[in-house]
Structure 1
């Protein structure tokens, strides 16, 4: 358990110091690159994602959460070492979809950026590091807060149902973050903000790849 907490502390010591990149632009040039590099199945997954984002633009938040959660939870879990040849790699949503799988961070990141693209306020979304207890493992989920004092809803790839955090006794929250800052988490509510500036290389690299179109 101490190792898990230490890992999370190191990984989340900071959040990027520049504004969060959230605009997802899918054009013919990008689609051509995806098709050439990853094949037609990858191309079709990106098209389906684009169609989902367009269809959900004006839908109620409950439906947006469900549709985005369900869409990405159809992909496969693949360990970073096996998938990318690295101990830890945070894939962009396009990389995640193009390769048809990823680990818990990739599921969470893809859901986060998709909901931001749909117009969900970033302040209502947190990427949250937790300890999953069955079996014990470091894990990441997406938390949605309807208001600052509400118990968040949890979007997860282990338990695919969207449930309030109070009903996820199998998850022990540690830290959460978004583009605005880092919070020391607690079981219910938003937790205590620790900092709002920083230098998380994985987060910075992820945003830089998105800025470059992938």
Structure 2
């Protein structure tokens, strides 16, 4: 399918990536470890330059643990297919390996861009409700590619694994959950660190945007080598990146509104 067809699909399906699919999970109810200084990840280590602390329980953590269990089986399938592509019985595994191979042939930003572009084109945007008959279904990469569709966390998970297999270290790859402070709802993206800067790989666009240039979103959770972590409270990203300042009262109001809307399915 041509790029223009997928572009139209993105425009038509943008609301499918609002992470209403996180709806049944009360994001405010996720529990973090006590905020002892030794348990906080250093501020400079994570995308958006905010400290984060590990979650020990909660729906979001459970979702990620479920994906990890799926990945155990998929990594075996990928290893078998990589060793014998002619005998591979999984078209999804072959497609995923082709994406990774194309990325490995490139360097630096071009490698990240190859994965972002290829996975954006390989998956059509569709809500979990439309595809699975229920909300908040997290799908591993081969399952997503086999279905041919998914919502934003499915794209982010596939990119996260593809980046790792393409040669990025665990310390340089993340999945970030962001709160849309304008329209409400949550959105998931993959993030990769290159030359000390975090780039976001978003299913809504082909161009990769540095975290400092993201607007009108508040990072809430980050997933990576340390498991699922909650970001420390921080200002709106528009404030961080130096756009028009927002009065503290307005920021507090937006934050409270975002928290209230996280209690219900969008």
TM range (shorter): 0.5 to 0.7
> Size of the alignment, in residue pairs?
174
Structure with bigger helix share is 2
- Label 1:134 to 1:4 Cα distance change in 2 as closer, same or farther (>3 A): farther
58-67 vs 113-122, which moves further: 58-67
Say which SS state the counterpart of residue 59 (structure 1) adopts.
Answer: coil
Measured in 2, the distance between the counterparts of 1:159 and 1:98 equals 22
Please say if residues 127 and 150 of structure 2, whose CA atoms lie closer than 8 Å, have aligned partners that are also in contact: yes
Cα offset, 1:58, TM superposition = 4.7
| 1:25 to 2:79 alignment | yes
RMSD: 3.2
- Report 1:97-108 matches (<5 A): 97-108=145-156
Cross-structure match for 1:173: 219
Cα offset, 1:158, TM superposition = 1.9
Measured in 2, the distance between the counterparts of 1:7 and 1:167 equals 25
Gaps of 5+ in 2: 1-22, 31-57, 241-266
Q: Residues 1-43 of structure 1: CA distance to partner in whole angstroms, max 9, x if unpaired?
A: xx89942634334664x998584335269843x4xxxxxxxx3
Partner residue of 1:64 out of 87, 106, 111: 111
- Report 1:57-206 matches (<5 A): 57-74=104-121, 75-133=123-181, 135-146=183-194, 150-185=196-231
- Label 1:120 to 1:164 Cα distance change in 2 as closer, same or farther (>3 A): same
Cα offset, 1:53, TM superposition = 1.7
Say which SS state the counterpart of residue 63 (structure 1) adopts.
Answer: helix
Please say if residues 180 and 187 of structure 2, whose CA atoms lie closer than 8 Å, have aligned partners that are also in contact: yes
Measured in 2, the distance between the counterparts of 1:82 and 1:65 equals 30
Higher relative contact order (CA 8 A, sep 6+): 1
- Label 1:51 to 1:182 Cα distance change in 2 as closer, same or farther (>3 A): closer
Cross-structure match for 2:99: 52
Per the normalisation by structure 1, the TM-score is 0.67
- Label 1:13 to 1:95 Cα distance change in 2 as closer, same or farther (>3 A): closer
Cα offset, 1:182, TM superposition = 3.1
157-166 vs 47-56, which moves further: 47-56
Cα offset, 1:133, TM superposition = 4.0
Per the normalisation by structure 2, the TM-score is 0.55
Gaps of 5+ in 1: 35-42, 189-214
Please say if residues 126 and 142 of structure 1, whose CA atoms lie closer than 8 Å, have aligned partners that are also in contact: yes
